[in-house]
Amino acid sequence: MLVIWGRSNSVNVQKVLWCCEEMAVKYKRIDAGAAFGVVNTPEYRNFNPNRLVPTIDDDGFVLWESNAIVRYLAAKHAAGSLWPDDLRTRASADQWMDWQQTTLWPAIRPLFMGLIRTAPDKRDPRALEESRLKTAEVLGILDTHLKSRTYVAADALTLGDVPLGCALWRWMALPIERPELPNVQRWFDSLTRRPAYKTIVMLPLS
């Protein structure tokens, strides 16, 4: 049985859970991280020395880093669908997964942490506004890309949509002003029609 450690409100844990739900892979989830603790226990640190979530144990094979986990699970269970057969389609999905980690998430993280995880009197309005503007700017890149594609890497959902879809929910659910991004909006609307996205990702932000 696949075991997934991580609290269900974590953007990185949601990538793994959503992916499993799309593939109908059974798993057991164990709450860990933030208020749940666990990540600082010697047992968990043995699994994941970063003390972060998610971590998986797939019949004795331990893996951390959410995007690496999504790649592993998609390759194992969803060849030809979430894990495209075509090398270039897969490389394109990979590209957008890395972009989520290195470009989109650093842009939006201060805004998310500030508005959702910081008391109002401790917020830095300037940092929040910088983060909002930067996120709007980088999402413009995705919007241009999505002009000619239904999903991020193909005309069907692939692993490339998973990290971006989890991050985008934060952007869409935050109480902020958002510029019009018609292609991102269309793509987001299509994700919201997926039962697994609704159940796993579209949770109240916390």
Ligand X SMILES: N[C@@H](CCC(=O)N[C@@H](CS)C(=O)NCC(=O)O)C(=O)O
**Of the listed pieces 50-58, 119-127, 129-137, 191-199, which binds ligand X according to CB under 6 A?**
50-58
Q: What are phi and psi of 83, to 5 degrees?
A: -105, 90
Q: Does 48 bind ligand X (CB under 6 A)?
A: no
Report the residue number, 80 or 204, with the smaller CB distance to ligand X.
Answer: 204
Report the residue number, 110 or 143, with the smaller CB distance to ligand X.
Answer: 110
Q: Does 33 bind ligand X (CB under 6 A)?
A: yes
Q: How far apart are CA 124 and CA 114, in angstroms?
A: 8
Q: Does 110 bind ligand X (CB under 6 A)?
A: no
From the DSSP assignment, how many helices (H) and strands (E) are in the chain?
9, 4
Least distance in Å: CB of 182 to ligand X?
29
Query: CA-CA distances (angstroms) from residue 142 to 41, 145, 168, 173?
Result: 39, 5, 11, 18
Q: How far apart are CA 121 and CA 70, in angstroms?
A: 37
Query: CA-CA distances (angstroms) from residue 204 to 12, 150, 157?
Result: 16, 26, 24
CA 134-68-136 angle, 5° bins:
10
Cβ atoms within 10 Å of 186's Cβ, excluding its own: 13
* Window 8 to 27, contacts with ligand X (CB under 6 A): 10-12
Q: Does 158 bind ligand X (CB under 6 A)?
A: no
Residue 98: which residues within 8 A CB-CB, separation 6 or more? 67
Report the residue number, 7 or 194, with the smaller CB distance to ligand X.
Answer: 7
Tokens representing 173 are 């659910």
Report the residue number, 103 or 190, with the smaller CB distance to ligand X.
Answer: 103
Q: Which of 17, 19, 20, 39 binds ligand X (CB under 6 A)?
A: 39
Number of residues this chain uses to bind ligand X (CB under 6 A): 12
Q: How far apart are CA 74 and CA 68, in angstroms?
A: 10
Q: Which of 4, 19, 52, 63 binds ligand X (CB under 6 A)?
A: 52
Q: Does 100 bind ligand X (CB under 6 A)?
A: no
**Of the listed pieces 22-30, 63-71, 85-93, 149-157, which binds ligand X according to CB under 6 A?**
63-71
Q: Which residues bind ligand X (CB under 6 A)?
A: 10-12, 33-34, 39, 52-54, 65-67
